[in-house]
Amino acid sequence: MLLIACPHCGPRDEAEFVCGGQTHIARPGPPETTSDAQWARYLFERDNPKGLHLERWLHRHGCGQWFNVARDTLTHEVKAVYGLLDTRPDVT
Amino acid sequence: MTRYSLWSLLREGLTGHRGWPKAWRDPAPRPSYDVVIVGGGGHGLATAFYLARNHGIRNVAVLERGWIGQGNSGRNTTVIRSNYFFPESAAFYEFALRLYETSARELNFNTMVSQRGLITLSHSRHDLEGARRWVNAMHLNGIDSEMLTTADIARMVPDLDCSPGARHPIHGGFMQRRGGIARHDAVVWGYARAADALGVDIIQNCEVTGFVFDGPRAAGVQTSRGTIMAGRIGLAAAGHQSVLAGMAGFRLPLTTYALQAFVSEPLKPWLDKVVISPATGVYASQSDKGEIVLGGALDLYPSYAQRGNLPVAEHVMSGFLELFPSMARVRFLRQWAGMTDVVHDSSPIIGAAPVEGIWLNCGWGTGGFKAIPAGGWTFAHTIANQAPHPLVEGFGLDRFARGALIDEAAASGIAH
């Protein structure tokens, strides 16, 4: 069971949240110079690390806000919670 | 290899079962092989077997980090079926089911295939419309399936709550009679024993830690038991495939999630069908030992933890109890999770990797077990001929850039 500290509501049970997958994904562009392969990588390829993962979460059954989480995919330890537009935190 | 037969069983029975040889050798890795398969699960072992038997390539090693069948092959719910929607998937999974039907004879190992029938429930009028469309698609693909009424289902699964007041009322459903279950360990052991008998080296406790390159071409692997050179490398590591790809310097369209399953204490014969309820995300069968085997939906955040978390367990149990209220007092003995490699379109990836010398078998998501014989057969063909088997031409890594997805997400029984 994850305990996730929503930046707006405080620590809450994981059942209130939805994981939106990898964060900090830059959309390639402009479209006229973006190849099909680049576009496919943007749509489908994800980091999928065994270890530290930077990901977006939505507090769906709470404030309804998106934010970022740094979490270990092997231990499930939440290393940091930070704003959606913040730069990546200094965690390993 | 001692052939297993009634005669060998009688002979050993009369001599105290002291003469059975080991089912496969435990060789030390040699410096090089024609083909190295990474991953000693069902897919990796089946690939090695079919490389040796169908293509005469016997200088093959299967490298397994732990022991064979330790990963997803020992962490699934053993369901076999071919109730897919699109022609590519239907042809592929039907081939897998047909190979399962003859696997015990083929491998000289009792894979305990039990085609007890697989019932998919419809809980609303809209579910029922979807089921009719699904059954029609299966008929067009030449695969057996039939619609069931609520009365049919109540007769076959007497403890299912089919009353009009049920929390999830049963409006009907459909059935693939040839679907069912097989014994997961027996499938792994059967392929391992048969591959070993043809000369394949099965090397356990051998973790791949990197790749050896000859220019742009991958020419071998570094392992915890030394460097092993390879003419061709096949990766069949399921949930860990992205980690291997990272070592070789490329990325894959995979996300790894935990998929939990549960077994109860053993009960007397109670359920002789596989029952799937897509709307509640629950499916159940009863093993030959009497345990109720339950599966559900994914833990929907990336994980390599091989355990899963409680909210999904609670969701699966509550769904199961709404369907089978009489099971409320049954206790569960074990829970585990497999690490599934989920692709955006819920279809597998078989074919060339972006790095020369490497071939990919991955992306099975929550449905790798049922695909094992066909995955091994077509992957062996793909590696041997350096070109995809006709059944998997649509399942290459190139489909993403071409936009030619085979979107089984909604059609594979459990959405993943």
The tens digit of pLDDT for each residue in B55-80 reads 999 999 999 999 999 999 999 999 99
- Predicted local confidence at residue B410, as pLDDT: 61
- % of chain B residues with pLDDT over 70: 98
Span B148-201, pLDDT tens digits: 999 999 999 999 999 999 999 999 999 999 999 999 999 999 999 999 999 999
Give the C-alpha separation, B395 to B363, whole Å. Answer: 10
Instruction: Read off the tokens for B222.
Output: 């570094």
pLDDT band per the 50, 70, 90 thresholds, residue B1: confident
- Predicted local confidence at residue A92, as pLDDT: 85
Contact A15 B311 (CB under 8 A): yes
B404 near A CB under 8 A: no
Residue B272 has pLDDT above 90, yes or no: yes
In the block, tokens 């009489």 appear at B326
Span A50-75, pLDDT tens digits: 999 999 999 999 999 999 999 999 99
**Residues contacting B124, CB < 8 A, separation 6+:** B169, B171, B279
Domain ranges for chain B, please list them.
26-79+184-253+345-412, 115-179+256-342
Give the C-alpha separation, B137 to A72, whole Å. Answer: 42
Residue B10 has pLDDT above 80, yes or no: yes
B43: closest CA of chain A, how far (Å): 22
* SS3 label, residue B399: helix
Work out the average pLDDT over B12-38.
Answer: 96
CATH class of domain segment(s) B115-179+256-342:
alpha beta
Give the C-alpha separation, B75 to B260, whole Å. Answer: 8
Among candidates A21, A36, A71 on the partner chain, residue whose Cβ is nearest the Cβ of B401: A36
Work out the average pLDDT over B353-377.
Answer: 96
CB B200 within 8 A of CB B48: yes
Residue A20 falls inside a structural domain: yes
Residue A90 falls inside a structural domain: no
In the block, tokens 């829970």 appear at B335
Interface of A with B in 52-91 (CB under 8 A): 53, 55, 71, 73-76
Among candidates A1, A44, A48 on the partner chain, residue whose Cβ is nearest the Cβ of B311: A1
In the block, tokens 């099975």 appear at B364
CB B382 within 8 A of CB B351: yes
Q: Which residues of A65-82 are buried (b: 16+ CB within 10 A; e: fewer)?
A: ebbbbbbbbeebebebbb
- Predicted local confidence at residue B68, as pLDDT: 97
pLDDT band per the 50, 70, 90 thresholds, residue B416: very low
Short-list B249, B177, B254, CA closest to B218: B249
The least confident of B96-105, B214-223, B300-309 is: B300-309
For chain A, the domain total comes to 1
Q: Which residue of A has its CA nearest to B343?
A: A44
Give the C-alpha separation, B275 to B131, whole Å. Answer: 14
Short-list B310, B305, B293, CA closest to B337: B305
Residue B15 has pLDDT above 80, yes or no: yes
Residue B327 has pLDDT above 90, yes or no: yes
The single-letter DSSP state of residue B114 is B
Work out the average pLDDT over B377-386.
Answer: 98
Q: How many CB atoms lie within 10 A of CB A13?
A: 13
Residue B95 has pLDDT above 50, yes or no: yes
CA B3 to chain centre: 26
pLDDT band per the 50, 70, 90 thresholds, residue B412: low
Short-list B103, B105, B27, B108, CA closest to B62: B27
Report the residue count for chain B: 416
The single-letter DSSP state of residue B74 is G
Residue B170's alpha-carbon distances to B10, B13, B120, B294, B326, in angstroms, are 49, 49, 10, 19, 16
pLDDT band per the 50, 70, 90 thresholds, residue B280: confident
Residue B297 has pLDDT above 90, yes or no: no
A36 near B CB under 8 A: yes
Residue A74 falls inside a structural domain: yes
Q: Which residue of B has its CA nearest to A40?
A: B401
Interface of B with A in 293-312 (CB under 8 A): 300-305, 309-311
Span A23-34, pLDDT tens digits: 999 999 999 999
Work out the average pLDDT over B373-377.
Answer: 98
Contact B255 A46 (CB under 8 A): yes
CB B114 within 8 A of CB B120: no
* Contact list, A48 vs chain B (CB under 8 Å): 242, 252, 254-256, 302
- Predicted local confidence at residue B233, as pLDDT: 98
Give the C-alpha separation, B345 to B171, whole Å. Answer: 29
In the block, tokens 């059967």 appear at B190
Give the C-alpha separation, B332 to B81, whole Å. Answer: 26
Report the residue count for chain A: 92
Q: Which residue of B has its CA nearest to A70?
A: B302
A41 near B CB under 8 A: yes
In angstroms and rounded to an integer, the radius of gyration of the C-alpha atoms of chain A is: 15
Mean pLDDT score of chain B: 95
Work out the average pLDDT over B330-350.
Answer: 94
- Domain extent, residue A43, equals 3-27+36-82
* Contact list, A42 vs chain B (CB under 8 Å): none
B30: closest CA of chain A, how far (Å): 29
In the block, tokens 């979807």 appear at B130
Question: Tell me, what CATH number does A7's domain have?
Answer: 3.30.2270.10
Residue A59's alpha-carbon distances to A7, A86, B258, B300, B416, in angstroms, are 10, 17, 21, 14, 22
- Predicted local confidence at residue B411, as pLDDT: 59
Pick the CATH number of B26-79+184-253+345-412 from 3.50.50.60, 3.40.50.12780, 3.30.70.270, 3.40.980.10: 3.50.50.60
CB B241 within 8 A of CB B235: yes
